[in-house]
Chain A
Amino acid sequence: MGNLEKEPMFSAKNLNLFTAPLGKNNPITVQVLGICSALAVTVKLKPAIVMALSVTIVVAISNVVIAAMRKYIPDRIRIIVQLVVIATMVILVDQFLKAFVFDVSKQLSVFVGLIITNCILMGRLEAFAMANKPWPSFLDGIGNGAGYGIILVIVAFFRELLGSGTIYGYPVFEKIGVYSIGYENNGMMILPPMALIVVGLIIWFQRSRDKSLVEK
């Protein structure tokens, strides 16, 4: 294979791998994957952001590892191999967090372990990394992690603001004084069902703007 046939690293096709999951092919709002953790970690912004980062790192690295091995992975045990790679990555990330950034690891607590069960990871490995080269797989992983993260952050922003009256722990509503005119935090927002409703509103908003996403 000569240099002429080699694709540039940031070709339009490769960039699309990164940008598509942010909008038109978002893992949460379009593929409706990874909803479980989107409900659990979005009460406050901080865990949502850390979770988004951890998922991005794990999905990107697992994608690269699987893509590099894809020609040697026997078809019949590929799901097991994918799971082993994901689980190994998650345990390593957890161990490193515990040893070097202990406070972040405490913030995330059980959710690091729960990354293993996040459907987005298996979905990307099976649908993309098994059939593509490491570099596009890496971009795909970063894109999907970011697409997942962006929804998490939006949901967490509204749930924290309306449920606790704060943004990233900063008491906005108290500072602008809406409590004195009779406003009260909406306790519903901190309960899991409201995450589902907020995700639903985002899906509604996205589909009303982009009709091509609406099923026939």
Chain B
Amino acid sequence: MKQFSNRYIFIFSIVMVVSVATLLSLAATLLQPAQEKNLEIEKKKSMLESIGVPADWDNTEELYDKYIKESFVLNSKGEQVDGVDAFTVVLRNEQKKPLIEQYLPVFKATPDDGEKVTILPVEGKGLWGPIYGYVSLKSDMNTIYGVTFDHKGETPGLGAEINTSAFEDMFHGKKLFDIDKFVSIQVLKGGADPNDIHGVDAISGGTITSKGLEKMLVDCISKYNDYLLKNRI
């Protein structure tokens, strides 16, 4: 192989790095609007899934406007905060703030069966990265109407199973409160008793994700404690 001078090597690397950087930043900038739109649609789609409305990529926006009519932001005392759009609140950033300053988004929906559903966003940690989702409650603010979970990078076939309907369907009808006490939902290794109103089966091979999910539900929903108790029927 022929020998190259040091000067050639320097120029070669500089040209290479600059052109690669230009190419990548160009691609990132040009594709950003499409990517952000996808994230927004995905968020709406998950919310619809948590109230049992199956949405396609194309009709998500339309269905969202039809079913999810109201949204507002609470503080940790359960009081409404004005002037903040619940949809744009990024839960991950909120969780870094002290509890008293956190914005807690609430979405209200009315599915076809006429139930007044409250949708609460949740976010926590799985094994490899964030896990998140929406928990929707019936008007008694206690019974779970539906849930949807998703993850950034859990292991396919193991932790990633939290976003399958087999897992999510187990949450239907489970209860968050034991009379006035918040007990959340336990994710039980080895399987939950079907009559247990506070427990669901964990995922085999996905113990850390299951535990993370359990912690996420406790951490996020307990912040709404005051609001849920005040507004239950």
Contact = CB atoms under 8 A, between A and B. Distances in A.
Interface of A: 40-41, 43-44, 47, 72-77, 80-81, 84, 88, 91-92, 95-96, 98-100, 102-103, 106-107, 109-110, 159-160, 163-164, 187, 190-191
19 contacts: A43-B156, A72-B12, A74-B12, A75-B1, A84-B17, A84-B20, A91-B24, A92-B27, A95-B28, A98-B35, A98-B38, A109-B151, A110-B152, A160-B157, A187-B205, A190-B158, A190-B204, A190-B205, A191-B205
Given A75-B1, A110-B128, A191-B205, A88 B24 contact: yes
B16 to A, nearest CB: 6
B158 A43 contact: yes
Contacts of B20: 84, 88
Nearest to B42: A102
A84 B153 contact: no
Central interface residue in B3, B31, B156, by most chain A CB within 10 Å: B156
Interface residues of B, number: 33
Interface in B127-162: 128-129, 150-158
Contacts of A190: 157-158, 204-205
B152 A75 contact: no
A25 B150 CA distance: 39
A40 B155 contact: yes
Nearest to B8: A74
Given A75-B1, A88-B23, A187-B205, A99 B35 contact: yes
B31 A95 contact: yes
A44 B157 contact: yes
A98 B36 CA distance: 9
A52 to B, nearest CB: 14
Contacts of B158: 43, 190
A77 B153 CA distance: 33
B93 interface: no
Contacts of B27: 91-92, 95-96
B13 interface: yes
A102 to B, nearest CB: 4
A202 to B, nearest CB: 19
A68 B185 CA distance: 58
B233 interface: no
Contacts of B31: 95-96, 98-99
Contact of A74 (B4, B34, B57, B152): B4
A110 B153 contact: yes
B157 A77 contact: no
B9 interface: yes
A160 B158 CA distance: 11
Contact of A99 (B17, B38, B128): B38
Contact of B38 (A41, A80, A102): A102
Contacts of B129: 110
Central interface residue in B4, B57, B152, by most chain A CB within 10 Å: B4
A142 B150 CA distance: 33
The 6 residue pairs across chains A and B that have the minimum distance between CB atoms:
A43-B157, A110-B153, A99-B34, A99-B31, A74-B4, A102-B38
Interface in B1-21: 1, 3-4, 8-9, 12-13, 16-17, 20
B139 to A, nearest CB: 32
Contacts of A77: 9, 12-13
B60 to A, nearest CB: 12
B154 to A, nearest CB: 8
Contacts of A73: 12
Given A43-B156, A187-B204, 13 more contacts: A43-B155, A74-B4, A74-B9, A80-B13, A81-B16, A91-B27, A95-B28, A109-B152, A110-B129, A160-B157, A187-B205, A190-B205, A191-B205
Contacts of A41: 156
A119 B42 CA distance: 34
Contacts of B9: 74, 76-77
